[in-house]
Structure 1
Amino acid sequence: MQKTHLNNKGEIVISSGETNLGIIGKTDVKAKIFEKNTLTCDMFGNVYYRSFPYKMVTHARVFNLKAKFNINDKIGLYLVGIFSFIKFKFSYSSMASWNKIKNEVITLPADSKGNLAFDFMESYIVELEAYLRATGLSNYTLTKKEKEILNTLDSSCGGGG
């Protein structure tokens, strides 16, 4: 997909990168539409929850992750947190790909019968959101200086992206 295809019509287009969660615009150009309530992972290991149908820029090395169970907004955000370690394993010189992450093991909460604890995942996110609102951190944007400090930390810790 080319920049000229972005016409502010149709579906949202996902690319790699952290800016705007990888969203680069909208297009009505014919391309595969991925289901809502799925995750995307890009070449830098950034994992995002998508609550909407979308198209992807495949040459930007971004791919779709679809769970074998239904995901809603709260469970999607919980999963993003679980997958957050991925971005520390990859960089521009060692890009994430399906082949590199497909055997990663994640642990999800389960109830006493061994079933996935969806209620726990949802309540965890609800409580986290309430805490962030109560502390005034519900819609926080990093300053340029704060971003520089985090980038310095990422570099010194071997993180990428």
Structure 2
Amino acid sequence: MLQLHTVTIHKPETMNFILGQTHFIKSVEDIHEALVGTVPGIRFGLAFCEASGKRLVRRSGTDAELVELASRNATAIGAGHAFIVLLGDGFYPVNVLNAIKAVPEVCRIYCASANPTEVIVAETAQGRGIVGVVDGFAPLGVENDDDVRWRKELLRTIGYKA
């Protein structure tokens, strides 16, 4: 019998995270290396749900509190081969996402966000798997010309566009 659950990502309001799926225990070290090799001094916590063997939540990171928070979120999700990376203040997915996607074991990225997020998890007699995510809220309308100007100015102000 299939059951669907929603699991809320618990984190401080402005904290960014990346949720994905990989296929091998080696991923913990490889994702860690990708993060520290891409952004020197990065603060993060990483947790991975092992899907066979001891079936532990494997963890790593550069900040003990973020590692603990990632471990709690991964445990709550409980889906085989899911991983979550919680980023410290001042670090953003846009700076590390391609490095994570380039890790050979990474199969997919479900979400990279600071928004309130719910993970839709399917549970069967065998285990749990991520079906998808609800990232933030539904749109309230379509941007107008003022909104377009604001968006473009913001990206230039924060240095992501020249």
Fold shared, TM-score > 0.5 on shorter chain: no
TM-score range, shorter chain: under 0.3
Higher relative contact order (CA 8 A, sep 6+): 2
TM-score (norm 2): 0.27
